[in-house]
Amino acid sequence: MSGYFDSISPLTFDPDSEGLAFRHYDPDQMVMGKRMEDQLRFAVAYWHSFGWEGGDPFGGRTFERPWFPADTMELAIMRADAAFDFFRILGVPFFCFHDHDVRPEGDSLAVSRDRLNRIADIFAEKMANGGPRLLWGTANLFTNRRYMAGAATNPDPDVFAYAAATVRDCLEVTHRLDGENYVLWGGREGYETLLNTDPGQELDHMGRFLSLVVEHKHKIGFKGAILLEPKPQEPTKHQYDYDVATVYGFLKRYGLENEVKLNIEQGHAILAGHSFEHELAMANALGIFGSVDMNRNDYQSGWDTDQFPNNVPEIALAYYEILKAGGFASGGTNFDARLRRQSLDPVDLVAAHAGAMDVCARGLKVAAAMLEDDKLEAARRARYAGWQRPEAQAMLGAGSSLESIADKAMAQGLDPQPVSGRQEILENLVNRYV
Ligand code: XLS
Ligand code: NI
Ligand code: NI
């Protein structure tokens, strides 16, 4: 017990509450054949909630937490105590962490690994005593200055090797803690200027690195999924893992499309000029949907603001795509989100997550209702109905050619007539559920 959250009791589902409670998130409510908790699979992100100090480019720490700056193991343990107290207040089933969030880095790889293992022992005990499970672990390959020019894509092979050692250790700790996934977000895998960069070589290094990680996963018997997290910009101007489609091309090129899935973040989708649901639908279409980071960006500011979700219609469309993909398998809903820097108090952190969980619960219920009613899907099926005809199917089959299709079209004197896409009618339909 850290004492930090002592003034706050565990939250319950209480729609009539005037205080801190869930008004929509009822873990036991059944939604499309599963408990809501098992559909949403919420996770708290250790870094934003227990590591981030409230700084921005114009000013430093605004939050006063007793474990800051967490540069000793004693403080790291105090932070772990507070984190697990917090998880219990929310009743979340999962959490996520980077090595860098949970232990101070040592002055050698060996010391860093030893510290990570010591914290993992503490986590294991807390997890066994009713704490949440691990949705995913990951390595921070972007904060230390050694990574300023990338990790796997660094021009210095020693940095590649250092990153390999770091990921080996994090993957093994994730495995030991029964993590359901292991995430690689491409931190500084990208570049600032072509004048000093060989992108072809860097992509090959990144492909090799990922293959090594996948190989090691199998070697140690880790059953979780390896997830890549696309992001188009920030911190480097040109991030290689731009968006879902780009990452799919990368995976294909290095033969990893059946080994790796994606962790899709709403804010990153927005930065890429896409909607969240676009990225989710693309991942589902390409067979690489894995998990989500449920944090939005500001639509105007153009950087990764990591805000808690608060827009139900948006989140409903996201869960609609997730449910269409069959729901989460190993993935879940991770709040890779942080408070605004003026939100100083423990209660702010609790309320931010409670509100976000309610927004997701509402979104999920809306999505399930739309899917169960089948009106949207019926309209979509009707739109593609022509493809049910045998002649249409034949065009897609092996026996057809451009010539045979063309000759037939000419012989039939085809003159296709446009049909309404019914966008506004469909938007109105969605609005009836929200
Ligand atoms: C940064 C990413 C990061 C990953 C984990 O923008 O969202 O937080 O989720 O490394
Ligand atoms: Ni993220
Ligand atoms: Ni992000």
Does any ligand 1 atom lie closer than 6 A to the CB of residue 335?
no
pLDDT of residue 302: 84
Catalytic residue, candidates 26, 85, 99, 101: 101
- Residue owning the nearest CA to atom 5 of ligand 1: 185
Q: What's the confidence (pLDDT) of residue 406?
A: 98
To the question of whether residue 427 is assigned a binding role by annotation, the answer is: no
How remote is the CA of residue 299 from the centroid of ligand 3, in Å?
Answer: 14
CA 299 to chain centre: 19
Cβ(138) – ligand 1 distance below 6 Å: yes
Q: Is the CB of 295 under 6 A from ligand 1?
A: no
pLDDT of residue 292: 98
Q: Can 98 be counted among the known catalytic residues? A: yes
185 lines ligand 1 (CB under 6 A): yes
- Among protein residues, the one whose CA lies closest to atom 2 of ligand 1: 185
Q: Is 26 annotated as a binding residue?
A: no
Separation of 226 CA from ligand 1 center, angstroms? Answer: 15
pLDDT of res. 179: 98
Please state, in angstroms and as integers, the Cα–Cα distance from residue 26 to each residue in 23, 224, 323, 333, 371, following that order: 8, 27, 18, 16, 20
Six-digit token string for 8:
């706050």
| Per-position DSSP letters for 326-366, written without gaps between them | TS-SS--EEE-----TT--SHHHHHHHHHHHHHHHHHHHHH
pLDDT at 73 (0 to 100): 98
Ligand approaching nearest to the C-alpha of 235: 1
Beta carbon of 265 within 6 Å of any ligand 1 atom: yes
- CA-to-CA dists, residue 56 to 117, 141, 155, angstroms: 31, 21, 29
Return the bridge partners of 56, or none.
Answer: 59
Q: According to DSSP H, which parts of 177-275 are helical?
A: 199-220, 244-253, 266-271
Strand pairing partners for 381?
A: none
The alpha-helical segments, DSSP class H, found in 139-243 are 157-176, 199-220
* Catalytic residue (choose from 24, 98, 175, 353): 98
Measured in angstroms, how far is the CA atom of residue 297 from the centroid of ligand 2? Answer: 12
Q: pLDDT tens, 92-151? A: 999 999 999 999 999 999 999 999 999 999 999 999 999 999 999 999 999 999 999 999
Q: Is the peptide bond before 235 cis (omega within 30 degrees of 0)?
A: yes
Report which of 78, 177, 166, 190 is spatially closest to residue 121, judged by C-alpha positions: 177
28 labelled binding-site residue: no
Per-residue pLDDT of the chain (434 residues; tens, 9 = 90+): 789 999 999 999 999 999 999 999 999 999 999 999 999 999 999 999 999 999 999 999 999 999 999 999 999 999 999 999 999 999 999 999 999 999 999 999 999 999 999 999 999 999 999 999 999 999 999 999 999 999 999 999 999 999 999 999 999 999 999 999 999 999 999 999 999 999 999 999 999 999 999 999 999 999 999 999 999 999 999 999 999 999 999 999 999 999 999 999 999 999 999 999 999 999 999 999 999 999 999 999 888 999 999 999 999 999 999 999 999 999 999 999 999 999 999 999 999 999 999 999 999 999 999 999 999 999 999 999 999 999 999 999 999 999 999 999 999 999 999 999 999 999 999 999 99
The residues, any chain, with a CB within 8 Å of residue 193's CB and separated by 6 or more, are 237
pLDDT digits (tens, 9 = 90+) for 15-67: 999 999 999 999 999 999 999 999 999 999 999 999 999 999 999 999 999 99
- 46 close to ligand 1 (CB < 6 Angstrom): no
Q: What is the DSSP string of 284-309?
A: HHHT-EEEEE--B--TTT-S---BPP
Confirm or deny that 229 is annotated as ligand binding: yes
Taking the CA atoms of 46, 13, 355 and 290 in sequence, report the sign of the dihedral they define: positive
What was the pLDDT predicted at 301?
A: 87
Among 278, 229, 281, 286, smallest CA distance to 257 is for 286
Q: Could you tell me how far CA 277 lies from the centroid of its own chain?
A: 13
Q: From the CB of 304, is ligand 1 less than 6 Å away?
A: yes
Confirm whether 101 is a catalytic residue: yes
Distance between CA 214 and CA 192 in Å, rounded? 28
Which residue type, as a one-letter code, is found at position 19? Answer: G
CA 281–ligand 3 middle distance (angstroms): 19
Helices 157-176 + 109-128 axis angle, to 10: 20
For each of the domains in the chain, give its residue range(s) and CATH number, in order of start. 32-373 (3.20.20.150), 378-433 (no CATH)
What integer pLDDT is reported at residue 287 of this predicted model? Answer: 98
259 is in an annotated binding site: no
Q: Is the CB of 231 under 6 A from ligand 1?
A: yes
Q: How far, in Å, is the centroid of ligand 2 from the Cα of 141?
A: 14
The pLDDT of residue 177 is 98
Find the 331 Cα to ligand 2 centroid distance in Å: 13
User: 């937490």: which residue's tokens?
Assistant: 65
| SS3 state at 142 | coil
Measured from the Cα of 184, ligand 1's closest atom is 10
Residue 85 assigned to a binding site: no
